[in-house]
Amino acid sequence: MPSNRIIFFDTTLRDGEACLGPGFDLQARVELAHLLAEMKVDVIEAGYPGATEQGFDGVRAVGKSVRGVTIAALCRSSRPDIELTARALEGASKPRIHTYYPTSGSRPEEIIEKSAQAVTWARTFIDDVEFSPMDASRTRPEFLVQVVEAAIQAGAATVSIPDTASSAGPEEFAGLIRRLKDQVPGIERTVLSVHCHDERDLAVENSLAAVSAGARQIECTINGIGERAGNASLEPLVRALRSRPEFSGFYTGVDLSRFPAIQAKVAALPSS
């Protein structure tokens, strides 16, 4: 993939669902996934199969119905969760397992071992594996370098750096991305992604700062919906990449002419 192509990973159906009272029913999930595919997002995170039976059924339905786009599903790092997620993705033409492990609360050696192990397990089912070190922006940078290196050595095709608690500002977050690009051996073999939350109204700017520093995938939602204060919003990200001079060398295939229909559909959903 060209180095100036920005991949759009939409997590409306997973992280966005966290702010909706009843969540998406099966029909709404599939309809929204089709609209996202028509808008030409690159990756649709269809749900979290290990969380609920509804989540499993939703991922399976999206994977079987929506073609030509990568369908991702989130899972914890345990082998049973990974196996369940792989089953949910059966039938998807381009499946991706997205697994995560927290980078705090355990011994450093255990975090590195469990992170690599999760990627290794996931790759026994699906080649396309994304790994997220949860709460990366509050992790000691020198330790985060080790965790990311372990995930890449285990075969992660994408590594996502979450600003889970919205604790970083644009300059700080860009510095973290530059450090990973400079210090992680083998990082040229993977796509570096970012997942920014919006407690300080910085999710969009943090994501764009990360692109300037070397990230090539942005995780976002329609209308910025999501857990707590929400996520980076897709539309302003696309418009910024196409209009701001500092991003003139980048491009994305997202078709915003399709955006009003999906924006209205998401806006009409009941929130929690």
Domain map (residue ranges) of the chain? 7-267
Give, in degrees to the nearest 5, the angle at Cα 202 between 45 and 138. 80
Instruction: Read off the tokens for 110.
Output: 């255990």
29's CB contacts (< 8 A; 6+ apart) are: 13, 46, 47, 58, 61, 62
- Compute the Cα dihedral for 195, 200, 202, 206 and give only its sign: negative
Taking the C-alpha atoms of residue 147 and residue 131, their distance in angstroms, rounded to an integer, is 10
DSSP-derived secondary structure letter, 124: T
Checking if the pLDDT of 24 tops 90, the result is no
pLDDT in tens, 223-260: 999 888 899 999 999 999 999 999 999 999 999 998 99
More confident residue, 218 or 54: 218
Per-residue confidence (pLDDT) for residue 271, from 0 to 100: 67
Taking the C-alpha atoms of residue 45 and residue 143, their distance in angstroms, rounded to an integer, is 28
C-alpha distances out from residue 253 to 26, 116, 174, Å: 27, 32, 24
The pTM (predicted TM-score) of the whole model is: 0.96
Query: Are the C-beta atoms of 38 and 72 separated by less than 8 Å?
Result: no
pLDDT in tens, 153-211: 999 999 999 998 888 999 999 999 999 999 999 999 999 999 999 999 999 999 999 99
Q: What percent of the chain has pLDDT over 90?
A: 85
Element (H, E) at 31: helix 26-38
Q: How confident is the model at residue 1 (pLDDT cuts 50, 70, 90)?
A: low
More confident residue, 147 or 105: 147
The partner residues of 231 in beta bridges, in order of sequence, read 197
Taking the C-alpha atoms of residue 116 and residue 113, their distance in angstroms, rounded to an integer, is 5
Three-class secondary structure of residue 193 per DSSP = strand
Element (H, E) at 229: none
Residue 112 sits at φ, ψ, to 5 deg, of -65, -45
- Compute the Cα dihedral for 133, 239, 3, 126 and give only its sign: positive
Query: Are the C-beta atoms of 150 and 131 separated by less than 8 Å?
Result: no
Checking if the pLDDT of 45 tops 70, the result is yes
Instruction: Read off the tokens for 208.
Output: 């764009």
Q: The domain 7-267: what is its CATH number?
A: 3.20.20.70
